[in-house]
Structure formats: structure tokens, C-alpha cells
Chains A and B, each alone.
Chain A
């Protein structure tokens, strides 16, 4: 498995990396095959957790633990993201100073389209996330961009996710070598170990979902972005996909990237693509 070889690679010491680089063909010769990757990724979770309904993976740690699931269900009776959702709805409908609205920037007026983000922009040659598209929309209309990690950005994406709830994630990889490269780059980022603790994203969210790391129960990587943005009790507030990536890096004592850095955009592309078919569940509530 490629995932496994990447993990092993990451754990090898620097002296061995040189050796590994002398035989890169083992990996390079592999054709980038997102369809096969997504299938393998999903099957890994479906086999590891045969009792979890496929569509439940989007509920993160709550799909893994019964006691926590009950606490979540209680929260969902009147969810903590309610205020952000209402604020997002209002912001979405409020015109910019030039009279235009967010709806003018998006297909279908921005309603029910969350499942198509991020997408690969063949003109730009890069991945465009929903958060990025929202700030570009603001800037194109003469408004200052929002912080990517919380507050207004979390409210707006909460509302847009809400209008897409239940729709299957539907990420496309266009016939463009740069799109394949972005997918592959995101995948590499996901499996590469980094930071003082030498963890990759996969160390926690592929190898150990459902298990505790210190006090927290780890979420499966499969469907983890379908629930974004999230109200995290640990944050006492909302956070976006950007915030999740940044905190994942800092929790493993790696240096976080800037929100919407190319690597983050690519890893979002990879993680969203391999969750294709699973429903959008955002906005979510998490411990």
C-alpha cells in the first residue's frame, strides 16, 4: 500500500532518506489514480469499522464511541453552532456596499453547492476552496477579506454547508496533469510525518481513529471535512477547515502553514475527494 510506504518513509531517519531516494521509481512508477485511492481509502475504514454505517463517518469521533454519541445527540437538540448559522444566513443575504451579494459569486446563488468544494480551477492551475472563494468574492466586490479561521468565515461556511446537508460530497478531478499533481501533493502532505512529535495526519486519523490521544477521541479522516465548519467545545467556538489544519499541525508540534497555503488547499482537495459519496453534515459540533 502506498499509504504504508509513505508512513514508513516518514519514519526513516535522515540518513536513510538518501537511500530511499535512490530508488524513487517504486513510487514514481505508480500512476496517480485518485479513483483507486478513494476506493482503497473508504474500504480501509469500512473494513476497520464494520459496525459503523458508511454515512456515519462524517460524524467524526461520535461514530466511534457510544457514550460520546449520546452527548452529541443531546447537543444536537439545540446545537452550539446555531448562532453562527443564523449569523451566516444573515450575512449571506446582506448586500455588499456595491449592492451585490455572495450569491452573485457562486453557481446556483451559493445554495446547495458546498459538496462541490474545493474544486480545481483549470485557469489558475490550483485548488480553490470554499473559504478562498468567499474571500475572493469579497475582494472582487471591494470588501476586505475575512480571517480564514473563525468568526465571519465560519458563519458563512456554516450557512453554505447547512444548505448542502445530506448531499454527497462530489469533488471532481479534471483531466489536467496539474489537478492530478495537486491531489498527489495533498496526499503526500497527509501521509508525511513532521514536527517534534513526528506525526503525520495519518498517524492519528488513519491508524488510530476511535482511540484516545490523551483526553480526546480521534476522528476518522474519512469524511472529516464533510462536517466543516465545526463548533469545538475545546475552542469554545467555531472554526473552519483552515483552523482545523492549523491546530492539527500545532497539536503535533509542527509548524502550521498559513491558512489557504497551497499544501492546505491540496490536502483539502485530497481529503474531500476520498470522501466522495459521503453526505455533507456541516456545520458540526465536536468535543
Chain B
């Protein structure tokens, strides 16, 4: 088993959730000093998923700066039919891709999903994400040790965090 979650982090998540309802945007979480993400690193990036802010989450996950690239193709709808299920996919023509991550800027926690792409796996992922409101979705492709991104605004009329 690779999950290392014990009872303590779970409880903290609950508390965080309760606070989140009342005080969206309150960011007083411990700032995890997660190192740059290595392709061989098998560990679940728990701290990065807990951060509110996109820049903080990128820093925790990768510890590097990102540059926009037209070689990253992000496909997402103009208007999400339902914020609970937004189909989002990314492909890239970049070489030596080791990971692809998705961030939703104004979700309670910006990092949505992060995929490790081993050798022999194509640099393309499709998934379905929740979006709380109209905001930017960013895909970050890690290729040859550098980070490249594409961003698109998705309009959300029915939010995906209210159940």
C-alpha cells in the first residue's frame, strides 16, 4: 500500500472542510516544504493538495517556475454543463514528459489532479474535474525537468462543490 494517511491528517481534512464552508479563502494551513517532484517519487503529494492558492500548490508540488507554452493543448468546455463534472484533457507535443497536473484556480484547493507519466506512456490525459465557479483551469506539463502550462477559462453556472 502506498497510502500513508493516518487518522490525524483525516481529522485535519474534516476540520479544514468545516472551516472552508464558513470562511472560504482563509489560508492558514501549514506550508509544507515539499521538494521538487521527481518522476521516480512515488509518494502522494499530500501538502500540495491541501494548499488553497495555485501558486503555492505549484511551488509545493514542483518547486519551480512555469512558462506558458503553445505546445500544451488544453481542451475544456466554454461553459461547463455542470461544475461537478467538467471534462478536461490535455495533450502535448513536448518530449520527455514526466508528469501532467491540473489546477483549478478558484477551487477551495487549487491542485486537482497530478499524473505521473513514465517512459513509454503518451503525454496525454483526459479526466473529469469539479469546479466551484467560473475560473481558470491550468494544465502543467513537466518535460525534461522544465514546466510548461496552458490555461483556459471555463464558465461555471452550476457549481460543482455543493453536491
Contacts and interface: CB of A to CB of B under 8 A. Distances in A.
Direct A–B contact in complex, judged by CB atoms less than 8 Å apart: yes
Interface of A: 67-68, 70-72, 74-75, 80, 214-217, 233-234, 236, 287
B133 to A, nearest CB: 12
B117 interface: no
B87 interface: yes
A74 B87 contact: yes
B85 A80 contact: yes
Given A74-B126, A215-B157, A233 B77 contact: no
B87 A75 contact: yes
B80 interface: yes
Given A71-B87, A216-B158, 5 more contacts: A67-B78, A68-B79, A74-B126, A217-B81, A233-B82
Contacts of B86: 71
Contacts of A68: 77, 79, 81
19 contacts: A68-B81, A70-B77, A71-B80, A71-B81, A71-B86, A71-B87, A72-B81, A75-B85, A75-B128, A215-B157, A215-B158, A216-B157, A217-B81, A233-B81, A233-B82, A234-B158, A236-B84, A287-B82, A287-B158
Interface residues of B, number: 15
A210 to B, nearest CB: 14
A91 B85 CA distance: 28
Interface string B62-84: 00000000000000011111101
B156 to A, nearest CB: 9
Given A74-B126, A215-B157, A287-B158, A233 B84 contact: yes
Contacts of A75: 85, 87, 128
B163 interface: yes
Task: Please give me the 7 A-B residue pairs with the lowest Cβ-Cβ distance, nearest first.
Answer: A215-B157, A233-B82, A287-B81, A74-B87, A215-B158, A233-B85, A287-B82
Nearest to B86: A71
A71 B77 contact: yes
B163 A236 contact: yes
A72 B82 CA distance: 11
A282 B126 CA distance: 25
Contacts of A287: 81-82, 158
A233 B162 CA distance: 12
Most A CB within 10 A of own CB, among B77, B78, B81, B163:
B81
A74 B163 CA distance: 21
A68 B85 CA distance: 12
A180 to B, nearest CB: 39
A67 B77 contact: yes
A71 B87 CA distance: 6
B83 to A, nearest CB: 9
B139 to A, nearest CB: 16
Nearest to A216: B158
A287 B158 CA distance: 9
Contacts of B80: 71
Nearest to B156: A215
Contacts of B158: 215-216, 234, 287
A72 B78 CA distance: 14
A287 B83 CA distance: 9
A76 to B, nearest CB: 11
B79 to A, nearest CB: 6
Contacts of A217: 81
B126 to A, nearest CB: 7
A70 B84 CA distance: 16
B54 to A, nearest CB: 24
Contacts of B79: 67-68
Contacts of B77: 67-68, 70-71
A73 to B, nearest CB: 9
A75 B86 CA distance: 9
